[in-house]
């Protein structure tokens, strides 16, 4: 595969609203991000992905954009973005923005004009349909955030518009070449401004079936899962290839797609050489256990499930392309709370999980706060929730007969708000996030878990992430850890996640004991030279004997073999 500038990079996701507030209004902002660039650099970060900062009514926290060419004053100004790009450049870092073009906001000028004249130019930028002859909605599709996908078009009671997400997020009609041109113009405008690329939001939704029809009803609400519509939609590749050719390709930009449910045979088209995107996220373990009924019916992802999902994704991509690996993002609960059984959660186990995913083949993404081991928050009432999908899932759970406590347990486990509580910088008031009132309450555990406390503690999660970055960048191991193949080792041994990264005769064995009890691992070779471990200072990993080595509880080790 052709070498590209982004393949050996380490990325970090900033969710600006919750990152750092520089002016005391309780909302994180771009100047806040600039002030932490040195901190990110020290963490080993090369690429910073900013979740949306464009003008927005914030119905879906910025994923509902009302102007693609501006910056919401709550987050800063275009000058601030230019400064961010320049300051990043000084440090050899890159800024990646969020590209949200499956839909815009219902407050975007395009949609306003579509409402004024549904048969005019902008009417064709959206999916607008008449009511069915019997007065019913055009199709029975359920939106991701609950309820049906159709909303009456303001001012036109006989018409509906399509929104696969919230009703304030009308879907853009990608079949219309004029719309596509507008999108490409905007992408190029940002790339010309100096950003290094985009994370591409919800992109698999841009292709709809040519004929809109109903699918089997799967809940009491009489609607069908939106996945049925996606399954039925053929030919997204044409749009994605065109976008690549017109925008990312000529700019040699980094693009990472939010792609779910890809089929193995499509992977080369998506992220192979000359593919639609540079990379796409691995969501294998993220979607594990999901239920069409809702969050209340989800199965937890145990260490064995985690391992199986990750290896399956690694296998299906092989060396065809580069996955982007995560344990969490702004749409998911905290990875440490999700993949480590609650009673086993500790700095040691957090570091073990970090090591397990960070050294996989692909681009490691760190989500803000992950590097200090931030955990889920317990939500004790519906009023504490902000996120629209959590509010919906709470109601879905109650409607399905769950008690209030059960519904709260489901949202506490899976709410997107878990990832959106402010970053815990210090043990001071509001975790040092703001001098005002934070827009979303901080996690009460900030006195124990915060960046300042971890800064000088050699055994902290933060310092372990720094060591992981240094290992990937160390010239001795950099090539194998970037371009090397990955082969699972002793895949069926319970709660052992081990794999070998190999390139040109160099082999690095990564092994993680995902349980509190020690366990023994047979070694593939006689050599076992440890280059990194998550044990506390003063502790040494055990030496092998008789071709085996003993791993302590939640021990993670990387060794040359
Ligand atoms: C993506 C975003 C999510 C948003 C949705 C609609 O999944 O990551 O936050 O709600 O798209 O834009
Ligand atoms: Ca602010």
Q: What is the CA radius of gyration of the chain?
A: 24
pLDDT tens-place string over residues 25-61: 999 999 999 999 999 999 999 999 999 999 999 999 9
Q: Which ligand is nearest to the CA of 163?
A: 1
Q: Give the span between the Cα atoms of 54 and 74, in whole angstroms.
A: 10
User: Ligand 1 in contact with 283 (CB < 6 A)?
Assistant: no
Q: How many CB atoms lie within 10 A of CB 488?
A: 16
CA of residue 80 to ligand 1 center, whole Å: 24
pLDDT by 10s per residue, the chain, length 561: 899 999 999 999 999 999 999 999 999 999 999 999 999 999 999 999 999 999 999 999 999 999 999 999 999 999 999 999 999 999 999 999 999 999 999 999 999 999 999 999 999 999 999 998 888 899 999 999 999 999 999 999 999 999 999 999 999 999 999 999 999 999 999 999 999 999 999 999 999 999 999 999 999 999 999 999 999 999 999 999 999 999 999 999 999 999 998 888 999 999 999 999 999 999 999 999 999 899 999 999 999 999 999 999 999 999 999 999 999 999 999 999 999 999 999 999 999 999 999 999 999 999 999 999 999 999 999 999 999 999 999 999 999 999 999 999 999 999 999 999 999 999 999 999 999 999 999 999 999 999 999 999 999 999 999 999 999 999 999 999 999 999 999 999 999 999 999 999 999 999 999 999 999 999 999 999 999 999 999 999 999 999 999 999 999 999 999
CA of residue 364 to ligand 1 center, whole Å: 20
Q: Which ligand is nearest to the CA of 206?
A: 1
Q: Give the span between the Cα atoms of 380 and 385, in whole angstroms.
A: 9
Tell me whether residue 221 is one of the annotated catalytic residues.
no
Spell out a b/e string for 57-96, using b for 16 or more CB atoms within 10 Å of the CB, else e.
ebbbbbbbbbebeebbebbbeeebbeebbebbeeeebbbb
Tell me whether residue 258 is one of the annotated catalytic residues.
yes
User: Ligand 1 in contact with 165 (CB < 6 A)?
Assistant: yes
Q: Which residue's alpha carbon is at the smallest distance from atom 2 of ligand 1? A: 201
Q: Which residues pair with 556 in a beta bridge?
A: 512
CA of residue 22 to ligand 2 center, whole Å: 5
Q: Which ligand is nearest to the CA of 23?
A: 2
User: 72, 258, 371, 542: which is the annotated catalytic residue?
Assistant: 258
Diameter of the chain measured on Cα atoms: 79
**Structural domains for the chain:** 11-103+177-462 (3.20.20.80), 109-162 (3.90.400.10), 484-560 (2.60.40.1180)
CA of residue 282 to ligand 1 center, whole Å: 16
In this structure, the strands spanning 496-503 and 519-522 are unpaired
Q: Which residue's alpha carbon is at the smallest distance from atom 7 of ligand 1? A: 202
* Residue labelled with tokens 């995107």: 277
Which residues make up the environment of ion ligand 2, defined by Cβ < 5 Å? 21, 23, 25, 27, 29
* Residue labelled with tokens 């719309």: 179
Q: Which of 262, 255, 304, 302 is nearest to 283 (CA)?
A: 262
User: Ligand 1 in contact with 202 (CB < 6 A)?
Assistant: yes
DSSP string, 132-183: PTTS--S--BBPTTSSBSEEEETTEEEEEEE-SS-TTSPBB-TT-HHHHHHH
Among 17, 56, 58, 60, name the best residue to mutate to test ligand 1's pocket (greatest count of ligand atoms within 8 A of Cβ). 60
List of residues 6+ apart from 394 with CB closer than 8 A: 382, 385, 407, 408, 410, 411
User: 80, 201, 262, 371: which is the annotated catalytic residue?
Assistant: 201
Q: Which residue's alpha carbon is at the smallest distance from atom 12 of ligand 1? A: 63
| Contact (CB, 8 A) for 367 and 333 | no
CA of residue 38 to ligand 2 center, whole Å: 20
pTM: 0.98
Q: Which residues pair with 560 in a beta bridge?
A: 508, 529
């Amino acid at each position: 595969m052709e070498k590209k500038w982004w393949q050996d990079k380490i990325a970090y996701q900033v969710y600006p609203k919750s990152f750092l507030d520089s002016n005391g209004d309780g909302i994180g902002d771009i100047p806040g991000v600039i002030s932490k660039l040195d901190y990110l650099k020290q963490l080993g970060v090369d690429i910073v992905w900013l979740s949306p900062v464009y003008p927005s009514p914030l119905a879906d926290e910025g994923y509902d954009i009302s102007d693609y060419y501006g910056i919401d004053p709550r987050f800063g100004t275009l000058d601030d973005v230019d400064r961010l790009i320049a300051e990043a450049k000084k440090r050899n870092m890159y800024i990646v923005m969020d590209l949200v073009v499956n839909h815009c906001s219902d407050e975007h000028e395009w949609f306003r004009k579509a409402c004024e004249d549904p048969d005019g130019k902008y009417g064709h930028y959206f999916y607008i349909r008449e009511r069915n002859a019997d007065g019913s909605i055009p199709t029975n599709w359920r939106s991701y955030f609950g309820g049906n996908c159709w909303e009456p078009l303001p001012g036109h009671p006989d018409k509906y518009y399509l929104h696969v997400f919230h009703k304030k997020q009308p879907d853009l009609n990608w079949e219309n070449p004029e719309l596509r041109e507008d999108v490409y113009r905007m992408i190029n405008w940002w790339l010309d401004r100096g950003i290094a690329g985009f994370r591409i939001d919800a992109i698999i939704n841009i292709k709809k079936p040519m004929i809109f029809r109903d699918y089997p009803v799967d809940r009491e609400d009489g609607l069908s899962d939106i996945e049925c519509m996606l399954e039925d939609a053929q030919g997204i590749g044409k749009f994605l290839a065109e976008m690549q050719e017109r925008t990312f390709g000529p700019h040699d930009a980094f693009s990472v797609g939010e792609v779910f449910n890809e089929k193995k045979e499509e992977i080369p088209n998506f992220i192979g050489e000359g593919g639609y995107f540079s990379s796409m996220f691995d969501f294998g373990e993220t979607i594990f256990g999901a239920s069409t009924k809702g969050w209340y019916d989800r199965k937890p992802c145990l260490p064995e499930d985690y391992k199986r999902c990750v290896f399956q994704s690694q296998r299906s991509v092989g060396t065809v392309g580069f996955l982007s690996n995560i344990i969490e993002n702004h749409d998911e609960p905290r990875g440490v709370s999700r993949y480590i059984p609650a009673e086993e959660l500790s700095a040691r186990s957090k570091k073990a999980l970090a090591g397990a995913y960070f050294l996989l083949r692909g681009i490691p993404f760190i989500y803000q706060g992950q590097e200090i081991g931030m955990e889920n928050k317990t939500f004790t009432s519906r009023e504490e929730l902000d996120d629209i999908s959590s509010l919906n899932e709470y109601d879905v759970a109650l409607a399905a007969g769950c008690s209030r406590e059960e519904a709260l347990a489901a949202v506490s486990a899976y709410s997107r708000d878990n990832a959106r509580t402010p970053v815990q910088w210090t043990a001071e008031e509001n975790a040092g996030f703001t001098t005002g009132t934070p827009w979303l309450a901080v996690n009460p555990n900030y006195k124990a878990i915060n960046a300042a406390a971890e800064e000088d503690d050699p055994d902290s999660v933060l310092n372990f992430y720094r060591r992981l970055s240094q290992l990937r960048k160390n010239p001795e191991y950099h090539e194998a850890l970037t371009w090397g193949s990955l082969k699972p080792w002793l895949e069926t041994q319970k709660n052992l996640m081990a794999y070998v990264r190999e390139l040109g005769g160099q082999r690095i064995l990564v092994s993680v004991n995902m349980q509190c009890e020690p366990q023994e691992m047979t070694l593939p070779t006689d050599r076992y030279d440890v280059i990194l471990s998550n044990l506390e200072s003063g502790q040494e990993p055990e030496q092998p004997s008789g071709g085996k080595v003993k791993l302590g509880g939640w021990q993670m080790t990387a060794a040359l073999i």
